[in-house]
Each structure stands twice: as C-alpha cells, then as structure tokens.
Amino acid sequence: MSDEQNWQAPGSNGSTPQGGQQQQPQYGQQQPQYGQPQYGQYGQQPGWQQPPAGQPGWQQAYPPGGAQPAWTPPPKPGLIPLRPLTLGPLLAAPFQALRRNPRITVGAALLLQGIPSIVVSVVIAGGIGLLAGRVFSAEARDQPALQAGFIGGTILLGVLSLVITTVFSALLQGVIVGDVARESLGDKLTFRALWQLVRGRIGALIGWTLLFALAWIVVIALVVAVVVALAALGGSAGAIGAVLVGVVGGLALIPLAFWINTKLAMVPSVIVLERLPLTQAVARSWRLTTGYFWRTLGIILLVGVIVYAITQTVAIPFGIIGGLAGGVFAPTSATSADPMQEVLVTQLSVNVLSSIVTSIIGAIGSVIQTAAVALLYIDLRMRKEGLDLQLVRFVEGRQTGQELPDPYLPQAQQPQQQYQPPQPPAGWPNA
C-alpha cells in the first residue's frame, strides 16, 4: 500500500469503521460541506454581532475568507463627482447648473445683469440720440461746441455704462460662485440664502472688479498716449515710431492679457468661498494656477468660444435687421428735410431692441462662464490640496447628522473641534 493510501486526517486514531465506510455525523451535528462558509453568510457585511447568551462582550463578524468590501467611486451628491474633474464634466456642469436651479441661475442673470444692461443700453441710446439731434439741428457757428459736447457726453455715458455693468457683474459672479459651490455638495439654496452667503463679500468683489478693469484701462491708455505723442512729433520718424509702438504694443498686450487674466481668474471664487482679503486672494489665485496654467487657459477659452457662438447665433439676425432698418422703417428719408436724423433715430430704435435680446443672452452666457471658472477653482483645489476628501467627508458627515464647518474654508479658518472617542453600543460592558 502506498503512502497516499495510508494518509489520514490529522487527529484521527488511524482506525476506520468496519466496512471501510466513513462514520456519519451523529444526530444534531452537521458536517461542513465543500465551499460552504462556516463564518457568516455570503453578502453579509462585516459588523458587530451580539454574543450568545452567557458569553460577555461583542464579537466582530468578518466576511468569508477575510474578503474586504468592494471599492466604490467617490459620491456625486450634486453637480459634479467629488474627485478631480476631466474635460467632460467641466464642460457639462455649467450647463447642468442652469438646468438644476434655473430660478437662481437664469433669474440672477436677468436680475443682476440682463435688466441693468437693458437699462444702460436704453439710457445710452437715448443720450446719444439727444446729443446727436442737437448737433444736426444746430447752426453752423454752434457746430464745433456741440460736437465737443457730443464727444464728451459719449465718453461720460460709456464710463457710466462700464461702472454699472462692472458692479452688477461682480454681484452676479458672487451669486453664481456660491450657487455652484453649494450645488456641488447637493444643496439647492434659494436666492435669499445665497445672498446671505455672499453679501459679506460683495464689497471686495466690486472693488476687485473695478480695480482690475481700471488697471487694464490704464495700460491701454499708456500705449495710446505713447502712440499719440510720437505722432504729434511729426515727420516720417514720428509716424514710423507711432506705427511701430502701436503694432508692437497691441500685439504684446494680447499674450499679457491671456497670462494675467488666467493667473487671476480664481480671485472671485477665492473672495467668496475662502473669504480672504483682496491682496491674499490675488496671491492665492496665482498659486492655485501655478502648474495648471495651460489647462486653465484652454478650458476658459473653450467655454468662451462656445458661449460666443451661441450669443452670435442669436444676435446676428438682429444685426441684419438693424442694417436694413433704414430702408424699411424710413423709406422717405432721402426726400425728407433731415434724412440723417430720421435714419439715425430709426437705427437707434432697432439697436435698442437688438441690445435687449443680446443682453439677455449675454447674461446667461456670463452665468455659464462664471460657473466654469468656479468649477475650475474647485478642481484645482482637489488636485493640489485634496479638497475632494474634505467634500466627501462633509457629505458623509451631513448624512449622519453631524454639524461640520464649511469645507471650502481654509484649514486655518475652520473651527477646531475637540476629539470625542466613539461611544460603545448599548449593552457594552463597562471597563
């Protein structure tokens, strides 16, 4: 007989029942079958089980074979999945923000940018029409003074339009940034709740927007002043210098604008969500975009091209109508006593209608662009600071009823919570 045939299970006494048959289990005993788990059942999650009667303490049950639960991806409680974002979610989420909460996004766009833009367009069109009417109806000796007044009034109206548009654009940025940040966590706030969230940062937002616009106006004005000064020198040297400065300066401003605007694109989001002062927000935006400049610039440009294409698709028909307005609505202008005034009034009327439609579409486009930049800010913090872990921890803690601080605040500004050891289940024996 070979060694294999002589092999016996450990602990056996080397004897078998008569007839060579294996001994059957006695009554009340169960012999484990092949493949049947002895501890727990399939599909049962590990947890704490109450001990049998007479045995103190709690026993932890494990799945068969020590298998661990399968990995699950980070949750998507709201607008985006709580992980570093790829290009698809970054392009789709701004449009989803419009669909998920249209009363806030579209309503804020119309209230904070659409209506002010319409009012500004009407006021500017009326002011220019009034000034132009005075110039055309004045006598020849009064023409120089009225023309100077027309130019000065037009510049004043333009500055007023810029200030009003900038202020309301800053308000819209604050509301949209706050809405996107809360929607990413699954919250759907009302306009009043969002206003309470961002109202303390409105002054900083308006100040930043005005300062940023003023800085670019000063830079462009310096280039124009140099060109005018060279042209005023006269002669071929002055003309050549003016042309060179104008061309080189204009071309140099383009990459400079791309670079500065991209590096500082996160300032509104930092002001609203992290509640930092203006100078610290500028430095913070500069650091966040370091190492991700080209990615940030590419996504901002791509979203801008999409919004521009949508806006122009709606605005081009009104531009064509405006070009034909002089002949359709003023057919007798050629034989009238003052044909230019009649055509000008008709053209301004059509332009006002075009401006109204364009303002509404442009306001919605501003929401999409602002939402895209806010999502880029969240994505940069996920990639560089692990913000996704804080957001997941916040969502999970909120589901269990915990009161957690705002996850978007920096760690230094979050209130420190004292550690509390977990409480044992009911019935746990005291140590």
CB 97 within 8 A of CB 184: no
Mean pLDDT over the full length of the chain: 76
How many residues are given for the chain? 431
Higher-confidence residue: 156 or 414?
A: 156
The pTM is what?
Answer: 0.71
Tell me the Ramachandran region of residue 213: left when phi exceeds 0, alpha when psi lies from -120 to 50, beta otherwise: alpha
Tell me the Ramachandran region of residue 129: left when phi exceeds 0, alpha when psi lies from -120 to 50, beta otherwise: alpha
Going by pLDDT thresholds of 50, 70 and 90, the confidence category of residue 71 is low
pLDDT digits (tens, 9 = 90+) for 335-383: 445 555 555 556 566 666 777 777 778 888 888 999 999 999 999 999 9
- Give me 254's structure tokens: 């383009």
Higher-confidence residue: 162 or 90?
A: 90
Sorted by sequence, the CB contacts under 8 Å of residue 370 that are 6+ apart come out as 172, 173, 176, 177, 268
Every domain of the chain and the residues it spans:
87-209+291-395
- Please give the pLDDT value at position 138: 67
Q: What is the Cα–Cα distance from 276 to 283, expressed in whole angstroms?
A: 10
Q: Which of 146-155, 188-197, 403-412, 413-422 shows the lowest mean pLDDT across its residues?
A: 413-422
- Please give the pLDDT value at position 65: 53
Q: Which residue's entry shows tokens 């059942």?
A: 41
Q: What is the Cα–Cα distance from 74 to 186, expressed in whole angstroms?
A: 14
pLDDT digits (tens, 9 = 90+) for 43-59: 444 444 455 554 444 44
- Please give the pLDDT value at position 19: 46
Q: What is the Cα–Cα distance from 413 to 129, expressed in whole angstroms?
A: 54
pLDDT digits (tens, 9 = 90+) for 159-218: 888 888 888 888 888 889 999 999 998 888 888 888 888 888 988 999 999 999 899 989
Q: Which of 103-117, 278-292, 350-364 shows the lowest mean pLDDT across its residues?
A: 350-364
